[in-house]
A and B are shown apart, each in its own frame.
Chain A
Amino acid sequence: MFEGLRAYRLIAGMWVRSSMTYRTSFVVTVVGNLLLTGMDFVGILLMFSQVDSLGGWSLPEVAFLYGLSVTAFGIADLVLGSMDVLGARMRDGSFDVLLVRPVPVLAQVGADRFALRRLGRITQGLAVLGWALSAVDVEWTAAKVLLVPVMVLSGAVIFGAVFVAGAAFQIVAQDAAEVQNAFTYGGTTLLQYPPTVFGKDLVRGVTFTLPLAFVNWVPAAHVLGRPYPVALPGWTTYASPLVAAVCCAAAGLAWRAGLRAYQSTGS
Chain B
Amino acid sequence: MGDEAFIEVDGVEKVFDVRRRTGFLKRERRRVQAVDSISFRVARGEMVGYIGPNGAGKSTTIKMLTGILTPSGGRLRVAGIDPSRERTRLAHRIGVVFGQRTTLWWDLPLIDSYRLMHRMYRIPDARYRENLDRLVELLGLEDLLEVPVRQLSLGQRMRGDVAAALLHDPEVLYLDEPTIGLDVMSKARVRAFLRELNAERGTTVLLTTHDLQDIEQLCSRVMVIDHGRLVYDGALAGLHEVGESERMLVVDLERELPPIEAAPARVVKVEGPRQWLAFPASESAAALVARVAADHPLVDLSVREPDIEAVIARMLHSPAESAQVPREDVGRVIS
A, B: real partners: yes
Q: Majority SS of interface residues in chain B?
A: mixed
Q: Nearest chain A CB to B59's CB is how many angstroms away?
A: 9
CB-contacts of B225-282 with A (<8 A) = none
Whether B63 contacts A96 by the Cβ 8 Å rule is yes
A263 within 8 Å of B (CB atoms): yes
Q: Nearest chain B CB to A137's CB is how many angstroms away?
A: 50
Whether A102 contacts B88 by the Cβ 8 Å rule is yes
Please classify how large the interface on chain B is, using the bins under 10, 10 to 19, 20 to 34, 35 or more. Answer: 20 to 34
Q: Nearest chain B CB to A91's CB is how many angstroms away?
A: 12
B106 within 8 Å of A (CB atoms): yes
Closest to B107 in A: A18
Whether B84 contacts A263 by the Cβ 8 Å rule is yes
| Distance between Cα atoms of A97 and B108 in the complex (Å) | 18
- By a CB distance below 8 angstroms, the chain A residues around B119 are 10
- By a CB distance below 8 angstroms, the chain B residues around A7 are 120
Whether A97 contacts B98 by the Cβ 8 Å rule is yes
Whether A96 contacts B106 by the Cβ 8 Å rule is no
Among candidates A93, A100, A264, residue contacting B101 with C-beta atoms closer than 8 Å: A93
Whether A266 contacts B112 by the Cβ 8 Å rule is no
Please classify how large the interface on chain A is, using the bins under 10, 10 to 19, 20 to 34, 35 or more. Answer: 20 to 34
Whether A263 contacts B69 by the Cβ 8 Å rule is yes
- By a CB distance below 8 angstroms, the chain A residues around B66 are 99-100
Whether B70 contacts A94 by the Cβ 8 Å rule is no
Whether A17 contacts B96 by the Cβ 8 Å rule is no
Q: Nearest chain A CB to B100's CB is how many angstroms away?
A: 8
Closest to B60 in A: A266
CB-contacts of A56-109 with B (<8 A) = 92-94, 96-97, 99-104
Q: With A10-B119, A102-B88 as known contacts, state yes or no: A96 contacts B98, CB within 8 Å.
A: yes
B43 within 8 Å of A (CB atoms): no
| Distance between Cα atoms of A92 and B100 in the complex (Å) | 10
- By a CB distance below 8 angstroms, the chain A residues around B63 are 96, 266
A21 within 8 Å of B (CB atoms): yes
Q: Nearest chain B CB to A152's CB is how many angstroms away?
A: 31
Among candidates B16, B89, B105, B116, residue contacting A266 with C-beta atoms closer than 8 Å: B16
Whether B91 contacts A100 by the Cβ 8 Å rule is yes
Question: What 1/0 flags go to A240-267 for Cβ under 8 Å of B?
Answer: 0000000000000000000010011110
Q: With A10-B119, A92-B101, A96-B98 as known contacts, state yes or no: A265 contacts B91, CB within 8 Å.
A: no
- By a CB distance below 8 angstroms, the chain B residues around A266 are 16, 60, 63, 68-69
| Distance between Cα atoms of A99 and B120 in the complex (Å) | 13
Whether B107 contacts A21 by the Cβ 8 Å rule is yes
CB-contacts of B113-152 with A (<8 A) = 116, 119-121, 148
| Distance between Cα atoms of A201 and B98 in the complex (Å) | 51
Whether B108 contacts A264 by the Cβ 8 Å rule is no
| Distance between Cα atoms of A14 and B63 in the complex (Å) | 27
Q: Nearest chain A CB to B43's CB is how many angstroms away?
A: 22
What are 13 A-B residue pairs whose CB atoms fall within 8 Å in the complex? A10-B120, A11-B116, A14-B108, A18-B105, A94-B101, A99-B87, A100-B94, A102-B91, A103-B88, A103-B120, A104-B88, A260-B70, A263-B68
Across the A-B interface, the 5 shortest Cβ-Cβ residue pairs: A102-B91, A18-B107, A263-B70, A99-B68, A100-B96
